[in-house]
Structure 1
Amino acid sequence: MKKPKQKPNRKTVRMNEVEEIETLNSWIDSQKPDSGTNPLSFPPLDKKAPVGRIGENEFSAYAGSTRFDQLPISRRTKNGLKEAGFVKMTDIQRAALPHSLCGRDILGAAKTGSGKTLAFVIPILEKLYRERWGPEDGVGSIIISPTRELADQLFDVLKAAGRYHNFSAGLLIGGRKDVDTEKERVNELNILVCTPGRLLQHMDETPNFECSQLQVLVLDEADRILDVGFKKTLNAIVSQLPRHRQTFLFSATQTKSVQDLARLSLKDPEYLSVHEESVTATPNHLQQTAMIVPLDQKLDMLWSFIKAHLNSKILVFLSSCKQVKFVFEAFKKLRPGIPLKCLHGRMKQQRRMGIYSQFCEKRSVLFSTDVASRGLDFNKAVDWVVQLDCPEDVASYIHRVGRTARYNSGGRSVLFLMPSEMKMLENLREAKIPIQFTKVGY
């Protein structure tokens, strides 16, 4: 009979971790890419080439990696990624990770659906692991997201990639009644995923809550968080954070504003815009159409569109909560033959998450404000994005249509423009968006 395998004791585990950390630090320092380079321009590493230590004081390169197992990251992170099905890296991950793992600040711009979340989750886990971060060390990283739904998705990715680490993590988002329970536990958490308002609430109200040892700050959908609407809140948050830290800003569109970068204390950030040189600013598998629709014909046109696509999953954007509620109620009474749902910012958090989950599961029409345009990943492909109202600007258009054609799947979008809004079509074309114009039909 075989003897049962004995689990390594804690002392052995600690020694193994210390050895691994020393190896990782040596590997990272010896092979770090030059500042200002884009690892996407490096030749891809040979899949069969040895990884890690390849001589007494020699290590394999990691700029040019195409797979996660070629990176200088811990066994715990590699196991989490593998179990979650993450094997090959996307462009933004290939570009950002070699720089972020060696401690640099990142300004990352990439199309929606391109895998930005893992590009900052991995270096957070690795930074805290190499620093041997523990429960008594408090908050080591803060990830700020503009919406509750996006924060919830980020938290799921963090849990998947970090499942074999021992860090404590918490989701701090508004609209939940258990703020008092959060206050009791928040000082014990190592990684916080939060919305700006909820984070500031804890900074202002929670006894002994402080982030003086913060290692990594992340702003996801950074252009939205740096916008005027969050300006006061963000300034109040940043004023309470240490200036010496690593900072990542990720978004589909990105700021180069000196003022924004200065108030966030970024240190010579690496600007990585992986799709800046691409022919289009939107996903390659996305078919985009714009059409002239006078105001008094918009609802008729939308009704005809829905009736013609009853077997599709359709996301319809409108500009205000009132419009969403009106169109949803009106169409519901008319019974188009497909389930209808609505989503807007005035709904309670639990209801919003429930509707989002239902829409992910089966074909239906979801009427929504821009609350659904940012970062949300509808698990099963959205077939159509319909913009009943013209978006505020090109960036808003990109975020809206980014809910379909995610990763390598296909998708289609249609934009209804009134005759007075033709300037938007010019702006989209100037921004490398290949949109077809039609006067009648779709």
Structure 2
Amino acid sequence: MSASAPNAPEPAGGGDAENAKYQEIMTETPFSETSLSPFLLEAVDAMGHKNMTRIQEASIPVILSGRNMTAKAHTGSGKSLAFLLPAIDLIHKANMKLHHGTGVIVLTPTRELALQLYNVATQLISATNITVGLAIGGTSRQKEANHLCKGASVVIATPGRLCDHLNNTPGFKTDKLFMLILDEADMLLEYGFQQELEAILRMLPGPKLRQVCFFSATMSDKCLEVPHMEVDKETLVRINTDVKSSAATRAHFEQGYIICPPEQRFLLLYTFMKRRSDKKIIVFLSSRDSVEFYYEFLRFIGMASILMLDGGMKQKQRMETYNKFCNAQSGVLLATNVAARGLDLPAIDYVIQFDPPESVESYIHRAGRACRGDTNKKGVGLLFLMSHETKFISFLKAHNVSLFEFEFPADKIINVQAEMENLIATIYYLRRKAQNAYRSFISAYASHHLKKVFNVNKIDLECLGRSFGLTEVPRVDVPGISLYKNMEREAAKAAAKAAAASAALDARKKGGDKDNSDHISKYGNLGTSDNETETAPQGQMTRKVKA
């Protein structure tokens, strides 16, 4: 499918898009038909939920039956309630008291996800004596320890902090633990938490005493194979309600790609954001350094409605940013993948994947941010690609992700390149941030596992540097990769050619020939004649940028 319009489509709302979303995730089964306790039915009703989603209808009875399970469902499909409701119900029916310690642990890879789950859980237990504990980095460890020692029936935690408490908080009782829930299970391993997960499993009651539930937007058997997990695959219940493969294939989510030369990447992004200043946009970048650089630069040139979210921010600052963006009617959020999974960022109009995703799955999770929780909007996704990266489209299509090509006329691009380069050259802290962002981009790109698609040796490094406002790029040494071999070879050829031209000119002068130096520009001998016009290779772009 191709787009004939010069610009990316505007989000539209209502009608077929709304119906498509409900048909995809909702059922006609009310929560009242489950065996959940009355206080939970009242709580979900107060939250505005009447009927269950597909993942809730499939998961709740399995968890209540005590069986191990895996559940795959796309973002925004109601996974949180699918496991919190039955977990809390089992705590209630087991009549667990504070002195019994913890009965359920929910592990999640990020602090933001943990806080979201904690907020939902506290709403569900508001009419009971059940307590929920939170164990995450960036908060007071001592306060957490005091709470855990007093007793928390349900603990929601990130791996590192939970491991810390299991090792160093003697009063934290887990001997009555009967359920372990891994939320965004695949990401726990993807983010490098396998060692912590193994340590946690060693310190918890054995596999025969606990029920394990895995929830994720993508699901593989990698989590099942972690040492000490010991889940019997033959008796494992596998649930997959992801009828259309992913959030990225929804009928109400329109998406495409744009092929853009490296030196024009930022200009196109800037133009896109400026012309949609009344929209809500999230832009994904590959590193904290890139997020921080573009945030600082855009603020410097007057883009006020811009926020950033990355893993290097303090917890309080991250939550303030998250809440501010959620409550805003419009604006731009620059983010690393920390915001790509599970976070409820409502009513996003555009998801822009400015830097390449780590995988097809990463693309899908990023795309899942569009219009989450708002059925009256039609989200648009835009993937930036360089010309050598177009093979990634075939990878996406193989996962039933349908994309079309956006077109963006060159004469419509807002050209702030000269201003950008001047600011970067003259303002020290911006130049340092630009250099760090460039280095981080190259390092992340060089480590991409889809090297047949994202091959760092195919990037024109100097042209890429211009998208960071750099007229001179810093050297980046990547182990095992000769980034500069081709550049050095071309530079040597150019130097040899210039030396030959200079020698030829000297020879003509000595031989009495007329001086033709007027025909040799700073770009070398362009072969111009008196009636030809000299053209520098860095002239204005005239071709269409495809998107």
Change (3 A) 1:222 1:99: same
Question: What pairs up with 1:122-201 in 2 under 5 angstroms?
Answer: 122-176=85-139, 178-187=140-149, 188-201=151-164
What is the one-letter code of the residue matched to 1:90?
T
The CA deviation at 1:264 is 2.1
Moved more, 265-274 or 196-205: 265-274
What is the match of residue 386 of structure 2?
418
What is the match of residue 70 of structure 2?
107
Mapped to 2, the partners of 1:92 and 1:322 lie a distance apart of 37
- Counterpart of 2:337 (choices 370, 393, 411) is 370
Change (3 A) 1:279 1:129: closer
1:55-97: CA deviations, max 9, x gaps? xxxxxxxxx9711011011111111111111211111111111
User: Does the 8 A contact of 1:321 with 1:346 survive in 2?
Assistant: yes
The answer to whether structure 1 residue 306 and structure 2 residue 263 are counterparts is no
What is the one-letter code of the residue matched to 1:141?
V
- The SS at the match of 2:105 is strand
User: Does the 8 A contact of 1:216 with 1:246 survive in 2?
Assistant: yes
The count of residues paired between Structure 1 and Structure 2 equals: 377
1:109-160: CA deviations, max 9, x gaps? 0111110000000110111112111112110110111111111111111112
The CA deviation at 1:282 is 3.5
RMSD of aligned alpha carbons: 1.9
Mapped to 1, the partners of 2:85 and 2:92 lie a distance apart of 11
Moved more, 64-73 or 124-133: 64-73
Moved more, 319-328 or 154-163: 154-163
- What is the TM-score of this pair, normalised by structure 1? 0.81
What is the one-letter code of the residue matched to 1:195?
T
Mapped to 1, the partners of 2:42 and 2:33 lie a distance apart of 13
What is the one-letter code of the residue matched to 1:250?
F
Mapped to 2, the partners of 1:192 and 1:95 lie a distance apart of 24
What is the one-letter code of the residue matched to 1:255?
S
Mapped to 2, the partners of 1:282 and 1:174 lie a distance apart of 35
1:314-356: CA deviations, max 9, x gaps? 10000001111111111112224x5011111111110010011
The answer to whether structure 1 residue 272 and structure 2 residue 239 are counterparts is yes
Mapped to 1, the partners of 2:191 and 2:546 lie a distance apart of 38
Moved more, 420-429 or 118-127: 420-429
What is the match of residue 324 of structure 1?
291
What is the one-letter code of the residue matched to 1:335?
G
- The SS at the match of 1:232 is helix
What is the match of residue 359 of structure 1?
325
User: Does the 8 A contact of 2:68 with 2:236 survive in 1?
Assistant: yes
What is the one-letter code of the residue matched to 2:147?
R
What is the match of residue 400 of structure 1?
366
Mapped to 1, the partners of 2:546 and 2:245 lie a distance apart of 30
Moved more, 202-211 or 396-405: 202-211
User: Does the 8 A contact of 1:110 with 1:253 survive in 2?
Assistant: yes
Gaps spanning 5+ residues in structure 2: where?
1-25, 408-544
The CA deviation at 1:171 is 1.4
User: Does the 8 A contact of 1:294 with 1:418 survive in 2?
Assistant: yes
- The SS at the match of 1:271 is strand
Q: Percent identity?
A: 36
1:255-302: CA deviations, max 9, x gaps? 134852774233422111111465975333111111111211110000
The answer to whether structure 1 residue 71 and structure 2 residue 34 are counterparts is yes
What is the one-letter code of the residue matched to 2:400?
K
Question: What pairs up with 1:251-266 in 2 under 5 angstroms?
Answer: 251-257=216-222, 260=225, 263-266=228-231
Mapped to 2, the partners of 1:277 and 1:359 lie a distance apart of 29
What is the match of residue 406 of structure 2?
438
1:187-221: CA deviations, max 9, x gaps? 21111011111101101111232312111111111
Mapped to 1, the partners of 2:41 and 2:305 lie a distance apart of 41
User: Does the 8 A contact of 1:321 with 1:369 survive in 2?
Assistant: yes
The CA deviation at 1:162 is 2.3
- What is the TM-score of this pair, normalised by structure 2? 0.66
What is the match of residue 188 of structure 2?
225
Question: What pairs up with 1:35-46 in 2 under 5 angstroms?
Answer: none
What is the one-letter code of the residue matched to 1:181?
K
The CA deviation at 1:164 is 2.0
User: Does the 8 A contact of 1:252 with 1:399 survive in 2?
Assistant: yes
Mapped to 1, the partners of 2:41 and 2:224 lie a distance apart of 37
- The SS at the match of 1:217 is strand
What is the match of residue 84 of structure 1?
47
Moved more, 305-314 or 432-441: 432-441
